[in-house]
Amino acid sequence: MDTFYNRLMDRLYLASIWIAGTAIFFMSLIIPWGVFTRYVLGTGSQWPEPIAILLMMSFTFIGAAASYRAGAHIAVTMFTDLLPRWLHRSGEVLVHALMAVVCLFVVWYGSSLCIETMGQSIAELPWLPVGVTYAAIPIGSALTLLFVIEHLVYGSQAKRPAVHLDEPEPVPAVEGAR
């Protein structure tokens, strides 16, 4: 089923992948720069560590949302596997409903954390409010919540073409062709 909501989630998923990928790319450049300036040049730069932390927060929370939609998150099925076959679907719904509760909790308290720390600045980067570094927490949790809702309403979306960009779409067979 391809609905407006699914297509919107495809776009949010792709944006999440790009944000997480860009964050880890720049992190992989910034951290060696910090090591180089400290140990080779003898004068450590002050900005690499807080920027790397900001990027790590983005990669972790926004990347986790994308991972949830792709079905690539860690899933322990030990307890649900012990359930009788006829309860498997109920167990799955319960797990995703609990995930939605956790997401709501993190969105609420993560937003509160961002708001409360917006007036503080990072010592090494006085222009950057601490709340900005925490913004990935509620944003990533809100994205995860949207993906949880999609999963509860439409089922797993892990096989959508937007999720598996590396797999070419099958070419329809032409009748009469060999």
Looking at this protein, which amino acid is placed at residue 129?
Answer: P
User: In the chain, how many H helices and how many E strands?
Assistant: 6, 0
Contact (CB, 8 A) for 16 and 66? yes
Q: How far is CA 1 from CA 102, 153, 169, in A?
A: 27, 11, 16
Return the structure tokens found at 109.
């308290």
Question: What pLDDT digit, counting tens, does each position of 100-153 carry?
Answer: 999 999 999 999 999 999 999 988 888 989 999 999 999 999 999 999 999 999
Per-residue confidence at 1, pLDDT binned at 50, 70, 90?
low
pLDDT tens digit sequence for 32-73: 998 898 888 888 788 888 899 999 999 999 999 999 999 887
pTM over 0.75: yes
